[in-house]
Each structure stands twice: as structure tokens, then as C-alpha cells.
């Protein structure tokens, strides 16, 4: 089976490929890249005026399966990923039961194998049941196919447990993905501690609760030599800590999400619980510093933290609604709108943070358009405008503060292993 993508604007930050080129896919792998590869193929896609890059890799997704299928399941979650141009996802372990053993890892893998084709890598919990106490078996988790360890959603407050986890994870070359917020400081508070929390007469989640744990985990990474990856960075000081630690050679990487470089705490005043996320939306200064961290390379990856909830749950009062928003179907467009079309970042730099960088952090071979690589490809129109309508989502979740926003950038094709799994009509 030959698939030929003609006259697309190729973007490959690793190989340095750029310009208008053809891409030939044969038997599920990339077979050729060139300015004119002819016209012989079983299927031809005319990609004139479209961008062609490696399939997006989202290393922070909640598929909610097993246990919370009313919010999302592996079938709907991967369909949402495909619509967003995402060909590889790493799903978090805060399911019911938690993904904390080989049996639960295999459950996710087996179900994903019958879904739409998006590659799914289950992340194993750091601790049993994500309770922050007894460590899981890192060796067996890796053998079962887990690319990383994380208790995401449940910060590991004990420095001793985290240190032991890092020592063990290093032994098996597994990164530990850390949700950095001290639980006893943030409790279940709904918004950032600051002007908006005071206006609403609510207790807030202080920025220092994130920053203290970022510093702690960075120091533990320095001491153990283990790879710590800081999840959903949301404050300017967190960025600065990571920047300084990277300059010292500490094995630390980090990610952020589109909401943290586009929205501020004021969004809570506009749309209530739809803007409730953990960590919370912060200040304008924090947004500016997150963007600076993306620009200078401190922040390695752009992810979604895709967190679907039911409409009934998100309709609760702000203090009682669950935290999280969906993002798989809007992430690329929000990022292009906020960073590329404003001139804040070049397209190849954005694509690097959404493809090869997260793949490298997870030790995956994805994110490249090299000859012989798996033909995971995303084709998008960087200039097409569209209005966000959650009723059109493939995800079960409709919880997004971007409803009604006009975005610029739309996925046209998503290809996994040479097979078209999504096409925009």
C-alpha cells in the first residue's frame, strides 16, 4: 500500500527538512521525501498550502478508562486525539482501579488495540493506588510497556517516597512525571490564590505550593541522577527554577498546556467551573513567563492534560465542580493562534514541542519524518479559521473554556502507520 502526500509544507525539526515537498509512505513506513516523487501510488493526498509534520505526541492525557467511562473511554478519547492530529498519547493512571500493575497496563493496551489506531502508552502509577506510600514495581511496569511513572492528580507529598521512587526509576531508565502541588497547601481549592480568589471570597491555591515542590523534585533529581519531568508548569517562578536547574545539568524536563499560556485567573469570572483546572490558571505575569520559557527552550513540551468530565459535574458550583478541561481537539489550534500567528514562536519550534520532544522524554521513537520511521503524520492548515463548538467534539467531555472562540489552524488528516484515521470533510 502506497500513500503519496504531494506538495505539502514539510516540517521536521530533527532532520531539518523544510519547504514544499512530497512524502511517500509505503507499507506503513516513510519511504521517500523529495521535491517530486512522481504520481504513482494507491492513494494521493494533495497537501498544497497545508503543513505536513510528524504525528503529534501528547504525553499527558486522561482517558478515564477503566472506572470513569461516563466521562471518557479509550474509544472516544483516541477519536478525539485523531481529530486533534495526535497520533500518540500517554495516558495517566488515575483510573479506577489505578493503573499500578502490569494487569491494568495490559487492559489499556488491549482496549486501545481495538480503537481507532492512535498509539496509546499507559503510564504506571508511582505508588500503589496512587496513595503516596508503597512503591509500585517499576521493573514489571517497564516490561509491561509503561513509558514512565506518575501519580498525576495525586502529588507525592513525601520527599522520602519521591526520592526512593527516583532511585528505583533510574535503575530502569523510567522518567518520573511529577504533579507539583503540596496537597496540604492547595487542599481542594478551586482557583489561584490572588485577586480573583479574594473577589470571590474563596480560599486559593498559592503559587508557592507548586514552586516548592518543583524545587524539591529538581533537587532530588540532582541528588539521584534520575530524570524528573515536571507536569503542567503554571507559574513564572517554576519556569525560573527549572531554567536554573537545567543550566546546572540536572536531568529535568517539563511541560505546559495551552491554557497556561493563553488564559489567566480572570477566565474563572467569565465561565466559572469550565475554567477550573489543577494547577489553576494564574496571572498575566505568569502567562508571559510561560511563553518566555517556551521561547528559550526551558519548557520542553506542550501537552493537553486532557481531562474530560460530565456536563452534570461541571455544572456544579465552582467550589464543588471537578478540575480539568478537555484539550485534544483544540490544542494545536489554540497553540498556533496564540504563539505562531502572533509571531511569538516559529512553526518548527512549536512542532518540536508537540512531537519529538515529548517522544524523547518518554523514550519513544515517534515524532520524526525520517526514512524508515513509522508513518505517523499530521497534515493541517495553519491558516484556516474555525469556531470551537464542543457539541462537535468526538470526546465525551464538553468542558472547555474555549467554547465560542475563533481559532486559526485546523487538522485536515491524521495518519498512523500509513493509514488515514481521520480526515476533515
Do 288 and 353 lie in one domain? The reply is yes
DSSP states along 352-414: HHHTHHHHHHTT-S-S---TTSB--EEEEEEEEEEE--GGG-SSS----TTTT-EEEEEEEEE
Percent of the chain with pLDDT over 70: 100
The pLDDT value recorded for residue 17 is 76
Do 189 and 226 lie in one domain? The reply is yes
Total tally of structural domains belonging to the chain = 2
pLDDT at 404 over 80: yes
Do 283 and 212 lie in one domain? The reply is yes
Yes or no: say if 375 and 25 are a contact pair by the CB < 8 Å rule.
Answer: yes
pLDDT at 16 over 80: no
Q: Which domain holds residue 298?
A: 55-361
- The residue among 299, 290, 306, 317 whose CA lies nearest residue 402 is 306
Per-residue model confidence as pLDDT tens digits over 26-50: 999 999 999 888 878 899 999 999 9
| 138 domain-assigned | yes
Do 194 and 212 lie in one domain? The reply is yes
Do 273 and 386 lie in one domain? The reply is no
Do 102 and 217 lie in one domain? The reply is yes
Do 243 and 290 lie in one domain? The reply is yes
The pLDDT value recorded for residue 335 is 98
* Cα gap 49→381, rounded to integer Å: 7
* Cα gap 153→363, rounded to integer Å: 23
Coil vs helix vs strand at 331 = helix
By annotation, the residues acting in catalysis are: 305
Four-residue CA torsion sign, 221, 227, 230, 236: positive
Q: What is the CATH number of the domain that holds 317?
A: 3.20.20.140
Per-residue model confidence as pLDDT tens digits over 156-168: 999 999 999 999 9
Question: Counting beta carbons within 10 angstroms of the beta carbon of residue 255, is it exposed (0 to 12), middle (13 to 18) or buried (19 or more)?
Answer: buried
* Cα gap 165→149, rounded to integer Å: 9
* Cα gap 297→255, rounded to integer Å: 11
Q: Quickly count: other Cβ atoms within 10 Å of residue 37's Cβ.
A: 17
Do 87 and 199 lie in one domain? The reply is yes
| 312 domain-assigned | yes
| 237 domain-assigned | yes
Last residue of a domain, one of 329, 361, 393: 361
| 190 domain-assigned | yes
Q: What is the CATH number of the domain that holds 389?
A: 2.30.40.10
Amino acid at each position: 500500500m502506497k500513500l503519496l502526500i504531494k506538495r505539502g509544507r514539510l516540517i521536521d525539526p530533527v532532520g531539518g527538512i523544510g519547504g514544499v515537498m512530497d512524502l511517500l509512505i509505503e507499507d506503513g513506513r516513510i519511504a521517500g521525501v523529495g521535491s517530486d516523487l512522481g504520481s504513482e501510488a494507491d492513494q494521493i493526498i494533495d497537501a498544497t498550502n497545508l503543513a505536513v509534520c510528524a504525528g503529534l505526541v501528547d504525553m499527558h492525557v486522561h482517558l478515564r478508562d477503566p472506572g470513569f467511562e461516563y466521562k471518557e473511554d479509550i474509544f472516544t478519547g483516541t477519536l478525539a486525539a485523531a481529530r486533534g492530529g495526535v497520533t500518540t498519547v500517554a495516558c495517566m493512571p488515575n483510573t479506577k482501579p489505578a493503573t499500578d500493575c502490569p494487569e491494568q497496563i495490559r487492559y489499556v493496551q488491549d482496549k486501545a488495540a481495538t480503537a481507532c489506531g492512535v498509539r496509546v502508552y499507559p503510564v504506571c502509577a508511582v505508588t500503589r493506588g496512587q496513595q503516596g506510600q508503597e512503591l509500585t514495581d517499576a521493573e514489571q511496569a517497564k516490561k509491561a510497556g509503561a513509558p514512565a511513572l506518575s501519580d498525576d492528580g495525586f502529588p507525592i507529598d513525601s520527599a522520602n517516597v519521591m526520592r526512593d521512587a527516583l532511585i528505583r526509576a533510574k535503575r530502569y531508565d523510567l522518567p518520573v512525571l511529577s504533579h507539583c502541588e503540596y496537597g496540604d497547601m492547595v487542599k481542594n481549592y478551586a482557583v489561584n490564590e490572588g485577586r480573583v480568589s479574594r473577589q470571590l471570597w474563596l480560599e486559593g491555591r498559592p503559587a508557592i505550593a507548586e514552586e516548592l515542590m518543583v524545587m524539591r523534585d529538581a533537587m532530588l533529581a540532582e541528588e539521584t541522577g534520575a530524570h524528573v519531568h515536571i507536569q503542567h508548569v503554571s507559574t513564572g517562578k517554576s519556569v525560573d527554577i527549572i531554567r536554573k536547574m537545567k543550566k546546572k545539568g540536572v536531568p529535568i524536563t517539563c511541560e505546559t498546556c495551552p491554557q497556561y499560556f493563553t488564559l489567566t485567573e480572570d477566565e474563572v469570572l467569565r465561565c466559572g467551573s469550565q475554567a477550573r483546572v489543577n494547577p489553576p490558571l494564574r496571572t498575566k505575569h505568569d502567562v508571559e513567563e510561560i511563553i518566555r520559557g517556551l521561547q528559550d527552550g526551558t519548557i520542553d513540551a506542550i501537552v493537553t492534560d486532557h481531562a474530560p468530565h460530565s456536563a452534570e459535574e461541571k455544572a456544579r458550583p465552582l467550589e464543588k465542580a471537578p478540575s480539568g478541561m478537555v484539550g485534544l481537539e483544540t490544542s494545536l489550534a489554540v497553540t498556533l493562534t496564540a504563539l505562531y500567528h502572533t509571531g511569538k514562536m516559529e512553526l518548527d519550534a512549536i512542532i518540536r514541542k508537540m512531537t519529538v520532544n515529548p517522544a524523547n522524554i518518554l523514550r519513544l521513537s515517534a515524532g520524526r519524518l525520517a526514512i524508515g520511521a513509522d508513518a505517523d503524520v499530521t497534515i493541517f492548515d495553519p491558516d484556516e479559521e474555525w469556531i470551537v463548538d464542543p457539541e462537535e467534539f468526538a470526546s465525551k467531555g464538553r468542558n472547555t473554556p474555549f467554547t465560542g472562540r475563533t481559532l486559526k489552524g485546523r487538522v485536515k488528516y491524521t495518519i498512523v502507520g500509513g493509514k488515514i484515521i481521520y480526515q476533515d470533510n
